[in-house]
Amino acid sequence: MRRFEGKTVIVTGAASGIGRASAVRLAAEGAAVLLFDRDEVGLVSAVNEIVASGGRAVPFALDLTVEADVAEALGEAKKAFGALHGVFNVAGGSGRRFGDGPVDACTLDGWRATLDLNLTSMFLMCKYAVPPLLETRGAIVNLASVLGMVGGDEDFATHAYAASKAGAIGLSRAMASYYAPRGLRVNVIAPGLIATAMSQRAQADEHILGRLPQLQPLTGAMGTGEDIAGAAAYLLSDDARFVTGAVLTVDGGWTTR
């Protein structure tokens, strides 16, 4: 399929994991993909992979929690490509290293850092991407998590992370309602456990691996970045022209239990 021929799409967190897999998928479907991330080495590697396969990709190295940098990058993208048709906000991650944990143990610094990483960055991207997307009646897909929907037990007790992902869902649905009359679609993907660098802790934990048949009963295994990329390509494409405000769980059955 070449659903994105002639279209420009931004993917944040595109240097690795879900973001990289999604950038590769969108480029394969014909999009000019703008890769946003602060990992310059990973960006170059991802761009080289896309270009080697005949795709079009441009790297933008920036910190998505810095408003001036986000505004400048969106301005440069608009100037260089003339139009923007889609944004997939993937950037974010675990806040454990900052002090996230159960609410009684989570530090204030950990709370603030985790919300900045996962929610403030998304807010800033949406703030500056919405005006050009309104011009094209484009689409935004925001990455949340099953933990923003159903919480987690002792193995997944990162409450600032859960709050940030619940916030992503709330922000997305509010935007979907407000901008629908102007043709802008906003949807959410809520993954379960996906085999990426972010989930290395879980991948190395025999106890959590042993729980996968119960947590994600469809396969009894972790998902892949490509599983999420396929869902994002659908929601960003015209195939989903009648879909907005949806929260699509790509979780191997986690939220069915």
pLDDT by residue (tens digit) across 89-101? 999 999 999 999 9
Per CATH, the architecture of 8-192+225-248 is what? 3-Layer(aba) Sandwich (3.40)
Residue 247's SS3 state is strand
Contact 8, 85 (CB under 8 A): yes
DSSP label of 120: I
Asked if pLDDT for residue 42 goes beyond 90, the answer is: yes
For the chain, the residue count is 257
Which sign does the torsion angle of CA 102, 105, 110, 115 carry?
A: positive
Secondary structure of residue 232 in the 3-state scheme: helix
Per-residue pLDDT averaged across 227-237, rounded? Answer: 98
Q: Which two structure tokens, joined as six digits, stand for 23?
A: 């950038």
**pLDDT tens, 154-213?**
888 999 999 999 999 999 999 999 999 999 999 999 999 999 877 778 878 899 999 999
Domain spans of the chain, in order of start? 8-192+225-248
Q: Return the active site residues.
A: 161
- The residue whose two tokens read 């922000």 is 171
Alpha helix segments (H runs only) across the chain = 17-28, 40-52, 67-81, 108-115, 121-136, 147-150, 159-179, 200-203, 206-215, 225-236
Q: What is the dihedral of CA 2, 10, 234, 22, to 10 degrees?
A: 90
Task: Name the percent of the chain lying above pLDDT 70.
Answer: 100
Fill in the DSSP letter of residue 194. Answer: B
User: Which residue(s) pair with 128 in the sheet?
Assistant: none
Least confident of 11-25, 150-164, 220-234, 242-256: 150-164
Q: How confident is the model at residue 227 (pLDDT cuts 50, 70, 90)?
A: very high
pLDDT tens column, 116-133: 999 999 999 999 999 999
Q: Which tens digit of pLDDT belongs to each residue from 68-79?
A: 999 999 999 999
Q: pTM of the predicted model, to two decimals? A: 0.96
DSSP class of 223: B
d(CA 119, CA 114): 8
Angstrom distance (rounded) from CA 173 to CA 180: 10
Mean pLDDT (the chain, rounded): 96
